[in-house]
Structure 1
Amino acid sequence: REEQLREIAHRVAGRVRATQQAVTLEPMLAYERRIVHLALQDDRDVRTESVGIDPNRRVVVLPKRAGPAPARPQRSFSPTAPRPGYPRRPGTGGSRPPFRRTFGPRP
């Protein structure tokens, strides 16, 4: 199976080189995707990315000159980076009240 995946990877890389358009492969298991990534990691004309969520995660083979694969949002996970959405209002936020374990009437 490994040799078959390497052959598929190189064949698809040739198609991507010729057309300069990304090609998405069928869903694969993690170890199969890894074989494809490793087979093309030293190729100077194409690059690979994994997209999707298991069990439908796929490898996309892209020309190196192209931008990132579509539907892959750029996110910053820095705690100081501004979050998308509404801006914070002054005087809001802070710590939350402690969790109440009892659900009886309030004192």
Structure 2
Amino acid sequence: MVLHYLSERPEQSGGGPVSDAHASSTVPPPGARAGFVVGKAVGNSVVRHRVTRRLRAVVREELHRLPGSADLVVRARPEAGTASSDVLRRDLTAGLDRLLGSGVTRS
């Protein structure tokens, strides 16, 4: 798995067309966000959706570690198609430890 991390979300410019009068005043919900990229190399549609669901559950448990303005993109490698949730959790935790500079080692 590959993690792409943006610690500070860029300001949104109001350059696009607004279809609703309230849309320009709405603020995105606070908190860290996560996105997933699970390509065809991981497996067929059923496998890709299973990996996405597992990754979503694993990331949900670790999202509190990120600043509220952070964006995280998790890109699944082909090995994720056969990996268990425990392996995905271990890899995500190790990746976040490296990204966030946490010296905590987990087993």
TM-score by length of 2: 0.27
Q: Which has the larger radius of gyration?
A: 1
TM-score by length of 1: 0.27
Specify which structure has the higher proportion of helix.
2
